[in-house]
Structure 1
Amino acid sequence: MNRSVDFIIIAIYLVVIALIGYFSGGKQKSTKDYFLGSDKVPWWAVTFSIVAAETSTLTFISIPGLAYITNLNFLQLAFGFILGRIIVAVVLLPQYFKGELSTAYAFLGKRFGTETRSFASVVFLFTRLLADGVRLFATAIPLKILLGIDYPVAILIIAVITLMYTVTGGVKGVIWVDVAQMSVYIGGAIISLWFLIDVFIPGGFSTIFISDFSHKFNFLNIDFLQDPKSLFNDPYTLIGGIIGGTFLSMASHGTDQLIVQRLLVTKNLKAARKAVIASGIAVFIQFALFLFIGIALFVYYGQMEIRSDELFPKFIIENLPVGVTGIIIAGLFAAAMSTLAGSISSLSSSVVFDLLPKYFSGTDEKKNLFSSRL
């Protein structure tokens, strides 16, 4: 099958994304402009950026596979995500805004000294680099299958384009690109679902909702009410989802510079609270969308021997028409690039604000801004 149209769509997408990042970032005159966007980014854009930053290619290809082999129980985790973000909004965000802090770890510096701040920053740098290495390689897997390119080429394309708009646009550029990229990958998911239901599954929704597939729509796992052991034996339960999701979200959205940097970009505390709570609701909807794709894939394919994370890429490459496949692959790029861009920006801000002042002092904003881009 001639995929030249798909390649053209992907190339245009990558160019447009780079231009959006460059022009939306504006002119940065200081490190505050570069890393905090001069506090001029609306809360809804920050919401989109948060969701895009925490969504990787693993989300795009793995969650449909999860619903294919199980059901909707995974969605219980999102209840904990929402609760955890409410706690972050009420407890942690006031502390960040009260002290006019530049990073999540600046709060530790005020309470426990610069050594603690530096240590926390180094831990963040180390763990973020490890996590992003895994995500970047995971992105190359479906791209290798879908585009027929080698792993190093796929990784290089993602890394170079992401670096271009992150370095030139600063955090504002990253956030507005995230808004565009979330629209692309969610749009790609919706298009895939539409093709599944309207084109490939005879009877569409009515077929999906028949009794033969009713077990796929099991949402709440409350078996622990009859059998307490299920709390430890079942992978997803209501209590486990709420507790685990709450603590995970408190850690990731309350203490991780990747997310905290975005919240500090908002105009004020009220806007930051809106952004973080709304992101929890958006993640719930996003999970539901990708899980429903997995159920539709089960109805279409039936039970088959295949790795669950290969299922959605298989459907994309074998069934979707030329052009549409290009849009979906652009969505995969979007999911990967948004996470990587957020990591680059947050890693840089943590180094510049948390580590460098300890060894280098100076008030020359031009030099500081140059160091930030490096």
Structure 2
Amino acid sequence: MQTIDWIVLIGTLLFIVLYGTWKTQGSKNVQEYIRGGNEAKWWTIGLSVMATQASAITFLSTPGQAFHSGMGFVQFYFGLPIAMVIICLVFIPLYHKLKVYTAYEYLESRFDLKTRTLTAILFLIQRGLGAGITIFAPAIILSAVLGWDLTTLNIIIGILVIIYTVSGGTKAVSVTQKQQMAVIFTGMFIAFGLIISYLPDDITFSKALDIAGASGKMEVLDFSFDLNNRYTVWTGILGGTFLMLSYFGTDQSQVQRYLSGKSIKESQLGLLFNGLLKVPMQFFILMVGVMVFVFYQFNPTPVNFNPAAKEAVKISEYNKEYNTLETELLQIQNSKEKLIKQWMVEKEMGEAFDVKNRVALQSFNEAEENIREQAKTIVKKADPDVETNDKDYVFIHFILNNLPKGLIGLLLAVILSAAMSSTASELNALASTTAIDLYKRNVTEEKSDQHYVVASKVFTLVWGILAILVACFANLFDNLIQLVNIIGSIFYGNVLGIFLLAFFIKFVHSNATFVAALLTQVIVIYVWWQDWLPFLWLNALGCGVVIFLAIVLQLFIPTTNTSKPEYTT
């Protein structure tokens, strides 16, 4: 990192924080602080929704995912446009009609206070932990690659987010996310252009796609029904729709983004904008990773992109064995580069030459993959605590070793901006849910509007501190990022099922729903504990079980009061 990179990085982050604080200071009431004064236009909503979902790990992991596995991951998002349409038709009109501040308020109008409180608590558990991981995930990677202190990074990211989120609430989050998305898109487009320009002069973009295709990186669609294959068209459309409905329809970190809309139409257009742009955006980020793969067909790569792996082996008895693998990898890469250049020359000479070279290239790729797997085994022997899955380190390795001065700082700003945007949304949602669903609803004395604005700011600060603490202590646990994904899957299906009961199954009342939700949570946790299903399928299981149990229980639990409870927001 040169001085100019530090200037670009620090300047970009400070501009976002100071601009967000200045633009949104002085919220006078809860409506302004939590719903942003309902002034957001559709493009602000769309970008805010997108920025909330696209955390830093998206821009670190996704290119690495494509580098190793190709474009197939984009199928995961095929259900998102379908979910956006359903939410626009069902969720948004109901939320706006009731003028709710949080998604869980609606559940009290449909059921009762205990159901609302239970659902809010389920959200707070999983999203509270998630906020810490949103900080921790990029921090641990940047720490390993740049040599920065991990705890310091966690604190810096957390404090920057807390400053403008406490100051301006929802409006500050939305305003800064527009700036952050501008930085993110600018950085990624520049990186893509530079990767293409770094390829040999005779390797056009079309030829680069041929090389990637021959290496199995351009297989976008998989129509198989293999349940062991996580990413297929069918899991994307069916499972993806289910998951996106849960996330965008019931998770307050997303609901709060479109509740700030100027009107129902603006909120709907914002979500549709996200639905139309999200899949192409993910496709583009994956394509960046594919082009990084092509770039490294003509440039040497480490056996493992995680620098901690090399350091661990260097001081162990396995260093010589690891060095041998590095030499073998370099020889394979040199031979592969010659083959690719020969193939491009012979490409116009007929199909027979084309097939022959494709087969040879696949053989080299298999040999290279075999060496990388051997290297992982050695690293594990040298230090079992070192992460051998290096996909998160591929793109950052390219950035630090190949981009010109100044642009390194910009791309690091992209990563940290993404971390800040997601964390800000999460803290904002956690504070709103705590203030409105728990604190305000259970305070007996009437308080002023300004009191609840102050309370929301205090809860934002508290959740921010908790998120920093989770991030700082996260390295004490194994596979914490995967654990958070599991926790989300454990709760999401149950919460979605409660909302679907509220929307569509009117004869089911509060007591049956509440008991069904408690039983479902126990069942889902037990199924996960016994490892009977992959954790992604727990979303569908939770949703189906809570609906089934609530309907059955309603036949046996007498309804003492079917009228909607009175409450104020």
| 1:142, distance to aligned residue in structure 2 (A) | 2.8
- In the superposition, the TM-score normalised over structure 2's length comes to 0.63
| 1:201, distance to aligned residue in structure 2 (A) | 4.7
Cα offsets for 1:123-172 (capped at 9, x unmatched):
11110111122221111023224543111111111111110011112111
Cα offsets for 1:231-276 (capped at 9, x unmatched):
x122211111111110111000000000101111001111111111
**Would you say 1:245 and 2:240 are equivalent positions?**
yes
Residue 425 of structure 2 aligns to which amino acid in structure 1? Answer: G
Residue 205 of structure 1 aligns to which amino acid in structure 2? Answer: F
Q: Is the 8 A contact 1:82 1:277 kept in 2?
A: yes
**Would you say 1:18 and 2:17 are equivalent positions?**
yes
RCO comparison, higher one (Cα < 8 Å, 6+): 1
Distance in 2 of aligned mates of 1:156 and 1:200: 39
- Within 5 Å, which residues of 2 pair with 1:166-245? 166-202=165-201, 203-210=203-210, 213-214=213-214, 215-222=216-223, 224=224, 228=225, 230=226, 232-245=227-240
Indicate the larger mover: 94-103 or 298-307.
298-307
Aligned to 2:396: 313
Distance in 2 of aligned mates of 1:90 and 1:259: 16
Distance in 2 of aligned mates of 1:134 and 1:170: 21
Distance in 1 of aligned mates of 2:199 and 2:131: 35
| 1:26, distance to aligned residue in structure 2 (A) | 4.5
Distance in 2 of aligned mates of 1:201 and 1:130: 46
Q: In the comparison of the two structures, how many residue pairs are matched? A: 367
| 1:40, distance to aligned residue in structure 2 (A) | 0.7
Aligned to 1:348: 431
Change (3 A) 1:371 1:66: same
| 1:304, distance to aligned residue in structure 2 (A) | 6.6
Q: Secondary structure at the match of 1:267?
A: coil
Output the aligned Cα RMSD. 1.6
- Within 5 Å, which residues of 2 pair with 1:1-374? 3-202=2-201, 203-210=203-210, 213-214=213-214, 215-222=216-223, 224=224, 228=225, 230=226, 232-302=227-297, 305-306=303-304, 307-360=390-443, 361-374=445-458
Q: Is the 8 A contact 2:212 2:293 kept in 1?
A: no
- In the superposition, the TM-score normalised over structure 1's length comes to 0.94
Indicate the larger mover: 196-205 or 10-19.
196-205
Cα offsets for 1:210-231 (capped at 9, x unmatched):
2563432211111x2xxx4x2x
* Runs of 5+ consecutive residues of structure 2 not aligned to the other structure: 305-389, 459-569
| 1:362, distance to aligned residue in structure 2 (A) | 2.1
Distance in 2 of aligned mates of 1:234 and 1:143: 31
Cα offsets for 1:275-326 (capped at 9, x unmatched):
1121122211220111001111111113874312111010011111111000
Residue 54 of structure 1 aligns to which amino acid in structure 2? Answer: Q
Residue 402 of structure 2 aligns to which amino acid in structure 1? Answer: N
Change (3 A) 1:211 1:7: closer
Change (3 A) 1:285 1:24: farther
Indicate the larger mover: 197-206 or 236-245.
197-206
| 1:51, distance to aligned residue in structure 2 (A) | 0.5
Q: Percentage identity across aligned positions? A: 31
Q: Is the 8 A contact 1:23 1:173 kept in 2?
A: no
Q: Secondary structure at the match of 2:213?
A: helix
Q: Is the 8 A contact 1:81 1:249 kept in 2?
A: yes
Indicate the larger mover: 345-354 or 361-370.
361-370
Residue 334 of structure 1 aligns to which amino acid in structure 2? Answer: S
Distance in 1 of aligned mates of 2:295 and 2:211: 15
* Runs of 5+ consecutive residues of structure 1 not aligned to the other structure: none
Distance in 1 of aligned mates of 2:404 and 2:67: 23
Change (3 A) 1:120 1:322: same
Distance in 2 of aligned mates of 1:282 and 1:23: 30
Residue 392 of structure 2 aligns to which amino acid in structure 1? Answer: D
Distance in 2 of aligned mates of 1:312 and 1:362: 53
| 1:24, distance to aligned residue in structure 2 (A) | 2.1
Q: Is the 8 A contact 1:40 1:266 kept in 2?
A: yes
Q: Is the 8 A contact 1:201 1:299 kept in 2?
A: no
Structure having the higher Rg: 2
Q: Is the 8 A contact 1:25 1:171 kept in 2?
A: no
